[in-house]
């Protein structure tokens, strides 16, 4: 063996080792991500369910993406995914023959990129339908509609009631990067210096407590869940944002990358709505009958522009 070929074979063996390491890493995926079972029951789904998802997901496992936002979708203290969207998804998927959900928690802004990269099969995070997002993902029809609200210091000293009131004051408004409130804030004409973009809800709460922002804007349900019980802070009354004279009704839905999956899921969601079964599932998370009823009367086309 000449020196040259010897050297080459050694290099080759190094690359082989490398490939083996990468292959070994791949195997760890299931343990590494946050896993949440739909229930204790892991028996295979009953065969022969018409219109079910068992052909599409033979393992009976659907992977969902959530953003870690109370009360929409988060990992509960027992390590299982819970919240408005995961619980509703669990009930709907259960009737379609899926009994296990694998949840991945990512930053809100990373939800859509993760779906497009096939990191999970659907987003169950209560994501609002809007035209920009509808260009990238396929939404189901909405399952709730909600108002926006500000979290402010007790007594609302700067009198912040809606986005326009922030423009008229010197207040700094915190928003979740990539969330609709950021768009509302910009389109309402709030100067960039008065908008503070943060990565997750706890950071908004910490920033408000530390006085770095005067208020933060999220859906009314979230704001009440975050500061409703907190001393020294309060949830200002909810409002429907108005941009260019048009009311921006915020309605959340599930998002998909696969048309067929979305259609099967959506048909079952419509069934749940017709039978009035959505409210009982999401009521414990602070959603009202009005929120569910408004959504039941709308389709994704009404909201995607």
Partner 1 sequence: MLNANQFQSFLDGAWLTVQVFLLAALLGTILSMIFGIMGLSENRFWRALARVYVEVARGASAIVLIFFAAFAIPIILGIPPRIFAAAITALGVNMGGYGAEVVRTGIQSVPRGQTEASIALNLTVTDRLRHIVLPQAVVVMIPPYGSLSIEVMKGTALVSLVGLADLTNRAQNLRIQRPVIEAAGGTAPSSVVIFGTALVMYFLMSQVIALFYRWLERRVGGRWYKERG
* Residues engaged in binding partner 1 (CB under 8 A): 3, 6-7, 11, 14, 17-18, 21-22, 25-26, 28-29, 32-34, 65, 68-71, 74-77, 79, 104-107, 110, 113-114, 116-119, 200-202, 205-206, 225-226, 229
Compute the distance between CA of residue 297 and CA of residue 205 in angstroms, rounded to an integer: 34
How do 81-82 and 74-75 pair as beta strands? Answer: antiparallel
Considering the complex, what minimum distance in angstroms separates the CB of residue 258 from partner 1? 13
Angle between helices 220-227 and 201-209 (to 10 degrees): 50
Q: Which tokens go with 262?
A: 């979305």
Nearer CB in complex with partner 1: 6/159: 6
* Cβ distance to partner 1 smaller for residue 32 or 55: 32
Considering the complex, what minimum distance in angstroms separates the CB of residue 100 from partner 1?
17
Q: Minimum distance from CB of 12 to partner 1 (Å)?
A: 12
Residues 104, 66 contacting (CB under 8 angstroms): yes
Closest distance to partner 1 from the beta carbon of 191 (Å): 29
CB closer to partner 1 out of 16 and 159? 16
Contacts of 60 (CB under 8 A, 6+ apart): 44, 45, 54, 97, 98, 99, 100
Q: Return phi, psi of residue 139, to 5°.
A: -90, 150
Which of 240, 261, 267 is closest to 251 using CA atoms? 240
Q: Which is nearer to partner 1, 95 or 200 (CB)?
A: 200
The smaller minimum CB distance to partner 1, of residues 68 and 142, is found at 68
| CB 227 to partner 1: min, Å | 9
Helix crossing, 259-274 with 84-95: angle to 10°?
100
């Amino acid at each position: 063996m000449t020196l040259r070929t010897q050297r080459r074979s050694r290099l080759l063996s190094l690359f082989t080792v490398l490939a083996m390491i990468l292959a070994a890493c791949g195997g760890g995926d299931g343990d590494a991500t946050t896993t949440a079972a739909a229930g204790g029951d892991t028996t295979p789904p009953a065969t022969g369910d018409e219109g079910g998802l068992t052909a599409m997901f033979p393992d009976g496992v659907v992977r969902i993406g959530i953003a870690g936002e109370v009360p929409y979708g988060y990992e509960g203290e027992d390590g299982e995914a819970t919240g408005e969207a995961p619980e509703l998804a669990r009930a709907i998927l259960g009737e379609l023959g899926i009994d296990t959900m694998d949840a991945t928690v990512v930053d809100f802004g990373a939800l859509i990129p993760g779906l497009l990269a096939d990191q999970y099969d659907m987003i169950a995070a209560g994501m609002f339908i809007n035209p920009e997002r509808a260009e990238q993902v396929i939404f189901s029809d909405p399952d709730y509609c909600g108002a926006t609200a500000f979290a402010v210091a007790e007594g609302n000293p700067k009198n912040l009631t809606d986005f326009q009131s922030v423009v008229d004051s010197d207040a700094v408004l915190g928003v979740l990067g990539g969330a609709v409130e950021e768009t509302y804030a910009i389109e309402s004409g709030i100067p960039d210096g008065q908008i503070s973009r943060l990565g997750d809800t706890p950071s908004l709460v910490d920033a408000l407590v530390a006085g770095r922002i005067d208020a933060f804007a999220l859906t009314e349900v979230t704001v009440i869940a975050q500061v409703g019980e907190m001393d020294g802070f309060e949830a200002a009354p909810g409002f429907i944002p108005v941009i260019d004279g048009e009311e921006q009704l915020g309605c959340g839905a599930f998002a998909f990358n696969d048309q067929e999956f979305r259609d099967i899921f959506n048909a079952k969601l419509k069934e749940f709505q017709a039978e009035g079964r959505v409210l009982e599932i999401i009521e414990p998370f602070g959603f009202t009958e009005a929120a569910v009823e408004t959504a039941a009367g709308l389709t994704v086309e009404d909201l995607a522009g």
